[in-house]
Structures are given as structure tokens and as C-alpha cells.
Amino acid sequence: MRKFKFFTNMKIRSSLILVLVFFLMMLLAGAALGVLSLQANHKALDKIVMNQRLGASLYSVIDNYKNVQTILGRAVTSYMVNSDQQSYAIASEWGGMGGNSAASALSDESRALIEEARQQYDQSLVRFAGYREMAAKALDPEKRYARVIDGYQTLMEGGVLPLLDLLTQGKVAEYHEFLGGTTLFLEEDLYSALGSLESYQKDLIDRTYQSEDEHYTLVLQLVGAAMAVCVLIALLTYMFLGRMVLRPLREAGRHFDRIANGDLTQRVEVRSHNEIGVLYEALRRMQESLTRTVSTVREGVEEITLGSREIFMGNTDLSSRTEQQAASLQETAASMEQLASTVRMNTDNALQADALAKGASDVAERGGQAVSMVVNTMGEISASSHKMAEIVGVIDGIAFQTNILAL
């Protein structure tokens, strides 16, 4: 559980770097394996090429030896054809006694062939020196190359060079005797060493092939194992990223969609301390901040709603009161109109009374002191009627303004 918690809290950057380092190590291991395999193949191929070169060089040296033998055989044949058969029989019978005469009997063709044989001998020595130098670089734990070198050098110095000397001296019988004895014996030793060397080279090639085949199988197994490990690591990496990165990101996306749709009720849980945990912590803080903001806005809206209701109720009350006041003003206007009508009637009556008073004043002038008092009284009534007319005018203005206010 702690290990799983450790991987849960692992940084995504660290996990990706770890995966890259692993694949880099696998790449380097594959490169190192390839280099080692190439080195082993190069060594094996170098052994085979070296053996082939040694074989080619050795066969070239052997060819020189055979050429010397062939040329010497032709020289002997030429000597025998150009010599007198009887002299040859006498020389063979008496041995060295006829050697000088036989030497003097060498033809120009025989001398030319012997000289050519010496040139082939010298050339074989040059090629043999090259072969010896190459053989010194080859691994020879069982001294097979040394046996061939010693056998060839012994054959050339102890089995071929004396033949050249004998034939140069015209000692054909001694030549044949030496050729059938010492030279043949040394040649058999050389071919025995060559057979042993050839068996060794074949065995070396077989062992090299078997070793390379085993190495090839091992490399294939290692490559297969490395590929299997890479596939396993890739699968584990995919599972790790899917569980530790992709799944939390999908869940974070669902949280964002839910918050975008206005749902702030579900809790955002922080399960790790890596980059995903930081994202979830920021998401949690954002949700809490949005929750506080929405709560504040809701409280403000509720207060605004309550104030609006109070304003509406006040407006309703004011409207009803205004309607009542309008009705009262209409009633007042009606009363004022009635009062104005009454005042107009009183004014009319007062004017009629004034007219009557004037008529009566005419009569009263003739009536004396009593009528004077009536005139004074009527004057006061006239003044009162003028004041009443002013009052009626004021009342008419008030009634007009009241009608305007009521409208």
C-alpha cells in the first residue's frame, strides 16, 4: 500500500523521465549488445580470413616447391635426352668418376631449366618468409604452423637445394637417389604437418561456426527478452499513465463540466501530491470560491428581493392612499363646486338685493333718517357681497387646482 502511495505521489515529470531513462538504458544495452556481437563476429571472421590467407599463402609456397620439382624433372629429362645413352650408363656404373664429363655434357636447355628452378627456389623462399610472418600473428597453441614452417624449411634446405646442386653438377644418379630418399622423406613429413594443419583449420572453422551459431542464438534470445521487457514496460507505463494521469484528468474534466453546469455540491478530493494533486487542489479552491461567490450573490439577491417586496408594498400602499386622496379631492372638488354654486346663488341674491336696495334707496331718500340707516346697512351688505365674490373666486381656483391634482 505504501509503495502504491509512493507511485501515486510520484511527479508526472519524474515518472516520464524514469520511463525515458529506462528506454534509453535499453537502447544503450541494445547498442552495446550489437557492438559486442559485431566484435565477436569480426574476431571470428578475422580468424577465418586469417586461416584462408595462411592457407592461400601456404599453397602458393607449396606451388613454388612443386614448380621447382617440375622444372628439375624437365631439366633431368632434357639432360637424359641430350646425353649419350652409353655415357649415361657408364657414369651410372662408375658413379663420381664420370661426374665432370657429365657436367660438361649439360646442354644449354638443361642449364636454363636449372637456373629457372633456382629462381623458383628463391621466389619460394620469399613467399615462405611472408607466410612465416603471417603465421607468427596467428594463434598456434599446438605449434601446427611451426611444424609446417620447420618441415618446409627443412625440405627446401635439406631436400631441394641439394637436388639443385647435384643436378647442376650433372650427378643425375645421385639426384635420383637423393630424390627418392631424403627429399621424399622430408616431403612426407611436410605433408603430414600440412594434413594436421588442415585438420586443425577445419576444426577451427567448425568450432568458430558453432560458437557463432551459439552466439547468434544467444543474441536472438537476449533481443527477444529485451523486446518482451520493453513491451511489458510499455504496457505498465500505459497502465500507470492511465491510472495516475488519464483517469484523474478525465475525472477533473467531469468536475469542470459539473461546475460549468452550476453544480457545486460534490466534493473535490485531493488524492495525491503531484501535478494532478496540485490541479485538484486548485479545482477545489475554485469550487469553494465559486460557492462563496454564489452564496454572497444569493444573499444579495434575497436582500434585493425583500427590498423589492417592501418597495412594492409601499408603492401599493402609496397607490391606495393616493387613490383615497384623489377620491377625497374629487369629493372636495365636488363640495367646492357646490359651495361655489351656493356662493354664486348668494352673490346673485346679493346683486338682486343690491338692486332692490338701490330701488329702496330711492324710496328711502324720500324716507328720511330711517331710510339712511337702511342704506348704511345695505352698504355693509354690498361690501360683504364683494368679499363673498372674492371668496368664491378663491374657491374656484382651489377647485381647479384640486381637479388638476386629482387627474
pLDDT reported for residue 182: 84
Residue 268 Rama label (left phi>0; alpha psi -120 to 50; beta): beta
250 to each of 237, 244, 262, 285, 286, how far by Cα in Å? 18, 11, 19, 19, 18
pLDDT confidence bin for 8, thresholds 50/70/90: low
pLDDT confidence bin for 322, thresholds 50/70/90: low
Q: Is 407 exposed, middle or buried (0-12, 13-18, 19+ CB in 10 A)?
A: exposed
3-state secondary structure of 33: helix
How many residues are given for the chain? 407
pLDDT reported for residue 331: 74
Cell numbers given for 265: 455540491
Distance CA 36, CA 220 (A): 13
Question: 2-241: which CATH number, 3.40.91.50, 1.20.120.30, 3.20.20.60, 3.40.50.720?
Answer: 1.20.120.30
Cα Rg, the chain, nearest whole Å: 73
In the predicted structure, residue 112 carries a pLDDT above the cut 80: yes
Mean pLDDT for the stretch of residues 60-68: 79
> Which architecture characterizes domain 275-406 according to CATH?
Orthogonal Bundle (1.10)
pLDDT confidence bin for 364, thresholds 50/70/90: low
* Residue of 345 and 340 predicted with greater confidence: 345
Percent of the chain beyond pLDDT 90? 0
Mean pLDDT is lowest, of 35-49, 167-181, 282-296, for 35-49
Mean pLDDT for the stretch of residues 188-201: 80
Nearest to 241 by CA among 231, 233, 229, 253: 233
245 with 12: CB under 8 angstroms?
A: yes
DSSP 261: T
pLDDT reported for residue 55: 67
Percent of the chain beyond pLDDT 70? 75
* Residue of 134 and 55 predicted with greater confidence: 134
Distance CA 264, CA 255 (A): 9
354 to each of 77, 345, 348, how far by Cα in Å? 204, 14, 9
Mean pLDDT for the stretch of residues 32-58: 73
pLDDT digits (tens, 9 = 90+) for 148-170: 788 888 888 888 888 888 888 87
7 with 276: CB under 8 angstroms?
A: no
Average pLDDT of the chain is 74
pLDDT digits (tens, 9 = 90+) for 129-152: 877 777 776 666 557 777 878 888
The packing angle between helices 144-155 and 184-241, to 10°, is 150
pLDDT confidence bin for 83, thresholds 50/70/90: low
* Residue of 67 and 333 predicted with greater confidence: 67
Cell numbers given for 184: 621424399
Mean pLDDT is lowest, of 59-68, 157-166, 178-187, for 59-68
pLDDT reported for residue 350: 62
The amino acid occupying position 350 is: A
396 with 347: CB under 8 angstroms?
A: no
3-state helix, strand, coil in the chain (%, to 5): 90, 0, 10
Nearest to 136 by CA among 145, 124, 144, 127: 145
pLDDT reported for residue 194: 80
pLDDT reported for residue 138: 66
| Domain ranges for the chain | 2-241, 275-406
In the predicted structure, residue 372 carries a pLDDT above the cut 70: no
78 with 111: CB under 8 angstroms?
A: no
pLDDT reported for residue 168: 81
First to last CA, the chain: 86
pLDDT digits (tens, 9 = 90+) for 84-104: 544 544 444 444 444 444 444
